[in-house]
Structure 1
């Protein structure tokens, strides 16, 4: 195993997992709107869904996208459409009282897991992980290491962002403040689409 490559991969993963992106922005907003406990399925869906994607692409699913490049385009624009929808939903979200019936609710485990497949930043991370750090160990142990580190760092980063949002609940107490915060989060979510359009 290349220890220097392993260290480089961990540094890359820490930066990519902990910096703002669609997942982290949505977790921050969900933590504020619904609280940490109700956001846990969202956290688990991102963490497990992304790790599964690394494993699937690393074990050969990525060749499908090489063979049929139109699939990448379809996923990219489906992701854009879904992120615009999520941004609108976040912008309209207000504080939820514990006894309030809110039909939309936080993102589900499966919704968060499936979102990874249309998340532009997620694909950048997967491609960077699989291609740049393939020599971290022999196949298939390199994929196993990447998946396990993704599960660990994903759990830490997703929990941290959701907890940060939840910690803001005592500070942002008025409905107007929560709505203003969510509008800013929605704007940041839309801003995260800029690299997609630059690549178009």
Structure 2
């Protein structure tokens, strides 16, 4: 049993520390808004992702096994929204950087974003499918949710502080613009595997 919980912790940590929409946006927020103004965004992800995992775990058998097409519907919505965010990030004018300086994600926006984040759905459903059994499923979902909660704080903090520290090296607004374009491209690339999967399932 202990070994299984260690495996869950390893899974959650490795999936949450690697680049993905949350981490890329967290780093970008740290650069553009600073740590203090990004705290609501940070805490919204830390609370929203484990909450989503808990809901997935408690409803996995009831909803997603009965209506598997919902996974693809959520993926399409999530990919579309992330591509829109990429576009907004890349086309942000240099002069508007100061304009939007006071408008990072709120706690509720960051928490709600998890429901259209393809990576969040992938790792959430993956963890529930891989680490739960019919025996004591409720407690297993609790421990998986706890693992995501414990992993979220240090992993996201690392990306947030990294982005904030980059501000010292990117004092020039033009350099910040190049950074935002780079982050937009990474954000778009992060959903490429999901797009490829959807295309292969429905168009090929």
- Normalised to the residue count of structure 2, the TM-score between the two structures is 0.88
Q: Which residue matches 2:161?
A: 163
Q: Deviation of residue 33 (structure 1)?
A: 0.4
User: Number of aligned pairs?
Assistant: 196
Q: For the residues of structure 1 that align with 2:70 and 2:121, how far apart are their CA atoms?
A: 13
Q: For the residues of structure 2 that align with 1:95 and 1:22, how far apart are their CA atoms?
A: 25
Q: Deviation of residue 107 (structure 1)?
A: 1.4
Q: For the residues of structure 2 that align with 1:95 and 1:28, how far apart are their CA atoms?
A: 20
Q: For the residues of structure 2 that align with 1:155 and 1:66, how far apart are their CA atoms?
A: 31
Moved more, 57-66 or 75-84: 57-66
1:143 aligns with 2:141: yes
Moved more, 179-188 or 141-150: 141-150
Using a 3 Å threshold, how does the CA distance of structure 1 residues 56 and 62 change in structure 2: closer, same or farther?
farther
Structure 2: runs of 5 or more not aligned: 199-204
Q: For the residues of structure 2 that align with 1:18 and 1:170, how far apart are their CA atoms?
A: 23
Secondary structure of 1:105 counterpart? coil
Secondary structure of 2:108 counterpart? helix
Contact 1:36–1:163 (Cα < 8 Å) also in 2: yes
1:76 aligns with 2:78: no
Q: Deviation of residue 96 (structure 1)?
A: 7.7
Structure 1: runs of 5 or more not aligned: none
Contact 1:95–1:178 (Cα < 8 Å) also in 2: no
Q: Deviation of residue 159 (structure 1)?
A: 1.4
Secondary structure of 2:19 counterpart? coil
Q: For the residues of structure 1 that align with 2:95 and 2:73, how far apart are their CA atoms?
A: 35
RMSD: 2.0
Q: Which residue matches 2:201?
A: none
Q: Which residue matches 1:121?
A: 119
Contact 2:37–2:102 (Cα < 8 Å) also in 1: no
Q: Deviation of residue 49 (structure 1)?
A: 0.8
Q: For the residues of structure 2 that align with 1:101 and 1:197, how far apart are their CA atoms?
A: 33
Q: Which residue matches 1:18?
A: 17
